[in-house]
Amino acid sequence: MAYLEEWALLERDHSSSLHGAIEALKASTLRLPVVGAIADIQSLKDAVGSAVDVMQAMASSICSLLSKNEIRIKTIVHLQVEEMNSLVVEIADVTAKERALLEQCRDFLSTLAAMQLENAYITTKSPTGHQQPDNNPDNTHLKPFSSDLQ
């Protein structure tokens, strides 16, 4: 919002300067020394020269204003690009963390599924339904998980 407010101030200054230049040009052309069909050449030359000087000053001022605006616009765009880059980096970090958490969740679910399978196998093989000591530490007695056990 600060940039929009700054733009409004620049626009107001520009409008004020332009209005002043228009009034100066009007005043200089209205003072042309014309009497009937006769004009004082020197005064006419001075008035036109004055008008040209005002127009050159206006052109210089406008070029300066355009240059300042261009710099400000480039600065604004640069800041917006930097902000966007910062957000993209943040999104990439969050995505990487999310991926790591999802992989960890997958590992936990795999471990849980293996534990449930082992528990189901032990309870179905035990005559009392209680767990028996594990005489096979390498878990070769485990069968692959299938949906028909559920």
Query: Number of C-alpha atoms within 13 angstroms, CB side, residue 22?
Result: 6
Q: Residue 82 has what pLDDT?
A: 86
CB neighbour list of residue 130: distance below 8 Å, 6 or more residues apart = 123
Strand-pairing partners, residue 39, are 34
CA distance 107 to 120: 20
User: Coil, strand or helix: which one is 66?
Assistant: helix
CA distance 55 to 21: 8
pLDDT 10s per residue in the chain (150 long)? 676 777 778 788 878 877 887 787 777 666 656 566 666 677 767 777 777 777 777 777 777 777 777 777 788 778 888 888 888 888 888 898 999 999 999 999 999 999 999 998 888 887 665 555 555 555 555 555 444 444
CB neighbour list of residue 129: distance below 8 Å, 6 or more residues apart = 123
Q: Residue 76 has what pLDDT?
A: 79
First CA to last CA distance, the chain: 61
Is the CB of residue 140 less than 8 Å from the CB of residue 118?
A: no
| pTM flag (> 0.75) | no
Domain ranges of the chain: 2-125
